[in-house]
A and B are shown apart, each in its own frame.
Chain A
Amino acid sequence: MAVNPSARSQNLSFPADGEWEYPITAPSGGGLSCSQTSASVAIYGTPAVDEALVFSGGYNGKVYALNASARSQNLDFPQMRDNEWFYPKTSEVIGAIVGSPVISEDAIYVTSSNGKVYCLDKHFGDKKWESDVLGDKLWSTPCIEGDKVYISTFDGHLYALSAEDGSITWSFAIAYPKIGFVSSPAVYEGTIFAGSFDGNLYAVEIGESEPLWNFTGGNCFWAAPVVSNSTVYAGCLNGNIYAIDATNGTELWSFDVGSPIVVSPILVDDSLVVAAESGNVYVINPKTGIGERIRNPGNDNKPTINALVQASPCAQEGIVYIRGQDNCLYALDIEQGRVIWKFPLTTQ
C-alpha cells in the first residue's frame, strides 16, 4: 500500500493523489481442500523503494517489483513496460523471504530461507547470480558496502560476498562456543556489527578471524544495530537501548524503554527514535542518553500507540512513520513529540 502523508494529514478519502494498494496473493489449497484458491502473501521485510518502483519479498518465496503508476491505475500485474516483474518468473518459488530487499545501483539483493542470496536485475527481474547455500535459512537483511554484500547467518557465520558474482570473499565464525547470529548485520568503517543468540553484540573487523569486541546485553539483540559517529545504538529484548563505543565496545549509556525492542532505532536529525514492542516511542538524545516518551494523544497512561510495534519505523522530514500490529499506520512528529495522525491500512 502507498500512502500519501499530506493526504492523510488532511484526512482525505483513500486513495488520494499518489496513493494505491495492491494485494499480493499466491495460490493456496491442497491439504484437505479440494479446490485451489488464492491467499494473501505474508510480507515480513520492509519494501525497498527506488523512484516509482517498489520491491518486496514474499514469505511465499517470490520477489515482486511493482510500479507506482501501474498500481495507481490498478492495471493487471505485472506491467512489463513499467518494469514490473516477479521472480522466479515461473510458478516456482525460492525459499520464504523474511529479510528486506536491498537496492544497490541496478541490482536488488534478497536473502531466502533456502540459505541463498539472490542478486536480481532491478529493471527486469533477471537473476544475475545466486550464492552458494550459506546456512540452513537466511532471514537477515543483507548489507551492501562498496562492492561487497555482507550477510549474517543463524549458524554463526558472517560472510562478505562479491556483489559482482556472489562468490565468498571472506567469512567469519565464532570458534567456541558455536553461536548463531540473530540480527541483520550493520557495517561501519570496515567493521561489521551483529547480535547473536546468546545475548551478545559482536563487532568484527572485516577480513579478521577474531572479534574486535563483544558486548553482553540482558537478552538478544534481535534487530540490526544502527551506527553513527563511532557509536553503536542497539536495542535489546531486555528492553534497553544501548549506546556502545564502536571502537572498543564500552557502554556509553543505556535507556530502559520498559519492553522488548524488536525493531532497529532510527536517527532523525539530532534525535534517536526508539520504538518499544509495547507501542511506546521514545525520543532520546544520542549523546547523553536522556530521552522522553511520546505521549498517547488520548490517554497519557497508555503507550504512545495502542498497538504492538514489530515493524521497522521510517522517517522523512522529521516525521516518523510506524506500522502497529493493529494494522494502522501512525505518523509521529518528533519535534513536537506527538502523534499527528493514524491511518488504518485495511481499506478493503
Chain B
Amino acid sequence: MAELWNLIILNPMLNGLIALSSVLGGSFGLAIIALTVIVRLILLPLTLKQLKSTKALQGMQPKIQELQKKYGKNQQKLQQEMMKLYKEAGVNPLGCIWPMLVQFPVWIALYQSIMRALATTPESLLNLFQHLYSWGVVAQAIPLDSHFLWLNLGSPDSTLILAIIVGGSMWVQQKMVTAPSADPRQKSMNSMMLLMMPFMFGLFTLMFPSGLSLFWAVSNVIGIGIQYWITGWGYLRRGTSAQVVTKLGGKGGITKRP
C-alpha cells in the first residue's frame, strides 16, 4: 500500500516540486508557492463544489432553525422534516464533505513532499534518494536551497511574522464561512473554533519547518481568494445573525447559479 502511494502520488509530486525548484532558479520557496497554486488550481472544481454545497446549506439555516424550534423535542420527526427540506431544495447535506475527502490525500502528499524534499537530517537526505527520478533537472536541484526571504525553510521561523500570517489568514478564511448563530451555545462554540484553529496553526508554525508553514500560508491566501470569488467577503463583513440569514437567503443561498 505504501509503495503504491509512493509510486502514484508521492513520488510524482515530490519530483515535480524539486524540478519546479530547479526551473525557478533553485528557489525552493518559490517552488512551494508554485506547486501550492498548481494543486489548488487542479482541485478548484472540487473546491467550488464544496463551497457551493456549504453555501447552499448555510442558506437553508433559517428554515432549519424553524424546524428545530418546531420539532425540537421529536428528533425523529425533525430528521424527517430536514431530509424533506434538503430534498425539496435539491441539496445533499453530505455534498460538502466528499470533495473535501477527495482533496485530503493530495494535501497529505503535498505535505509529505515538502517535508521529504527539505531533507533536514542525513537520514532524510538518504531517504530522499529512494524517491527521486533520474532526471537531470532533479539532480541539479539537490540539495535544495533552504533560504527564502528571511526564512530558513528547513527550520521553524524564529520571528513571529509567519505565525501571524498563517494564523491571521486562517482566521480570515474561517470567518468568511462561519455563519453567526442565534443559539448562544452554538455561537460560543463557533467563536471558540474560530480562534482555536488559527491559534493552533500559528503555534505549529513556531514548531514545524517554515517550508511547511509557507505552504499553509499560501494555501490559506488562495483559499481566501476562491472564497471571495464565490461569496465575496461573506460573514467577514456581516453583522448580526438576522442580517446574515436575510442577506444570504436573499442572495440566493439555495438558489442554483445559472
Residues of A within 8 A of B (CB): 31-32, 44, 98, 136, 139, 154, 177-180, 197-199, 219-220, 222, 237, 260, 262, 310
B140 at the interface (CB under 8 A from A): yes
Query: Which residue of A31, A139, A177 is within 8 Å of B122 (Cβ)?
Result: A139
A102 to B171, CA, bound (A): 52
Query: Which residue of A179, A198, A199, A262 is within 8 Å of B126 (Cβ)?
Result: A262
Query: Which residue of B136, B142, B146 is within 8 Å of A136 (Cβ)?
Result: B146
B207 touches A179 (CB 8 A): no
CB distance from A281 to the nearest CB of B (A): 19
A-facing mask of B83-127, CB < 8 A → 1, else 0?
Answer: 000000000000000000000000000000000000000110010
List chain B residues, Cβ under 8 A from A198: 136, 139-140
List chain B residues, Cβ under 8 A from A237: 129
CB distance from B87 to the nearest CB of A (A): 48
Given that A31-B207, A98-B122 are contacting pairs, would A178 and B140 also be in contact in the complex, using a CB cutoff of 8 Å?
yes
B159 at the interface (CB under 8 A from A): no
Query: Which residue of A98, A136, A260 is within 8 Å of B145 (Cβ)?
Result: A136
Report the nearest B residue to A96, measured CB to CB: B121
A177 touches B143 (CB 8 A): no
Number of chain B interface residues as a range: 10 to 19
A344 to B140, CA, bound (A): 41
A197 touches B142 (CB 8 A): yes
A180 touches B143 (CB 8 A): yes
**Besides the known contacts A177-B136, A197-B139, A260-B130, 10 further A-B residue pairs in the complex with CB atoms under 8 A apart:** A31-B206, A136-B143, A136-B145, A136-B146, A179-B139, A198-B136, A198-B140, A222-B126, A222-B129, A237-B129
Report the nearest B residue to A176, measured CB to CB: B140
CB distance from B146 to the nearest CB of A (A): 7
Report the nearest A residue to B141, measured CB to CB: A197
B134 at the interface (CB under 8 A from A): yes
Within 8 A of A (CB), among B136-167: 136, 139-140, 142-143, 145-147
Report the nearest A residue to B143, measured CB to CB: A154
List chain A residues, Cβ under 8 A from B134: 199, 219
CB distance from A56 to the nearest CB of B (A): 15
A199 to B143, CA, bound (A): 13
A220 touches B207 (CB 8 A): no
Given that A44-B122, A198-B136 are contacting pairs, would A180 and B129 also be in contact in the complex, using a CB cutoff of 8 Å?
no
Within 8 A of A (CB), among B183-198: none
List chain A residues, Cβ under 8 A from B123: 310
Report the nearest A residue to B134, measured CB to CB: A199
CB distance from B180 to the nearest CB of A (A): 32
A220 to B142, CA, bound (A): 12
A197 touches B143 (CB 8 A): yes
A178 to B207, CA, bound (A): 33
List chain A residues, Cβ under 8 A from B139: 179, 197-199
A136 to B207, CA, bound (A): 22
List chain B residues, Cβ under 8 A from A222: 126, 129
Shortest Cβ-Cβ A-B pairs, 3 listed: A198-B139, A197-B142, A154-B143
List chain A residues, Cβ under 8 A from B147: 136
A310 to B122, CA, bound (A): 11
A310 to B124, CA, bound (A): 13
List chain B residues, Cβ under 8 A from A31: 206-207
Most chain B CB within a 10 A radius of its CB, from A98, A180, A197, A222:
A197
CB distance from B167 to the nearest CB of A (A): 16
List chain A residues, Cβ under 8 A from B142: 180, 197
List chain A residues, Cβ under 8 A from B129: 219-220, 222, 237, 260
Can you identify 17 A-B contacts, CB atoms within 8 angstroms? A32-B207, A98-B122, A136-B146, A136-B147, A177-B136, A177-B140, A178-B140, A180-B143, A197-B140, A197-B142, A198-B136, A198-B139, A198-B140, A199-B139, A219-B129, A219-B134, A262-B126
List chain B residues, Cβ under 8 A from A180: 142-143
CB distance from B155 to the nearest CB of A (A): 11
List chain B residues, Cβ under 8 A from A98: 122
